């Protein structure tokens, strides 16, 4: 099976702009989670979607939003970008394997805000 794919791999934006990142899960996986990775804060959970519904959300401002489509592909959007939003954004897909769900990560999108 193909792994989790994320596009684009690299993005450069300026403060105040908005950005949309895309994630295609492993075929058959219906849950997609998003994480932000920074040197200072480490890996932090943004939100999780399942069957087009957000089931869980981390402690991020409302500028961070997401959605999931009927084919399980997911997008996240960050509006009014700030310098501190520069990070590696990772998405992960998962499927119940009878022993709990295990998350498989994509390569990430590196966002730089200037």
d(CA 109, CA 101): 23
Among 17, 56, 80, 112, binds another protein (CB under 8 A): 56
d(CA 71, CA 85): 28
User: By CB under 8 A, is residue 92 in contact with another protein?
Assistant: yes
User: By CB under 8 A, is residue 76 in contact with another protein?
Assistant: no
Catalogue the E-assigned strands of 1-114.
5-7, 10-13, 19-24, 31-38, 42-50, 53-57, 64-68, 74-78, 87-96, 101-105, 109-113
Among 22, 67, 95, 104, binds another protein (CB under 8 A): 104
User: By CB under 8 A, is residue 50 in contact with another protein?
Assistant: yes
Residues at the contact surface with another protein, assessed by CB under 8 A: 4, 6, 31-33, 35, 42-43, 45, 47-50, 55-56, 58, 90, 92, 94, 99-108
């Amino acid at each position: 099976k193909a792994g989790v794919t994320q596009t684009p791999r690299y993005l450069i934006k300026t403060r105040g702009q908005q950005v949309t990142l895309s994630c295609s899960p492993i075929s058959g996986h219906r849950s997609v989670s998003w994480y932000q990775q920074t040197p200072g804060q480490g890996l932090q959970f943004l939100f999780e979607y399942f069957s087009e519904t957000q089931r869980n959300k981390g402690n991020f401002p409302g500028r961070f939003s997401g959605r999931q489509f009927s084919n399980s592909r997911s997008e996240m959007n960050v509006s009014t970008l700030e310098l501190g939003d520069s990070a590696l954004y990772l998405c992960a897909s998962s499927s119940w394997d009878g022993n709990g769900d295990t998350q498989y990560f994509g390569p990430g999108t590196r966002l730089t805000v200037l």
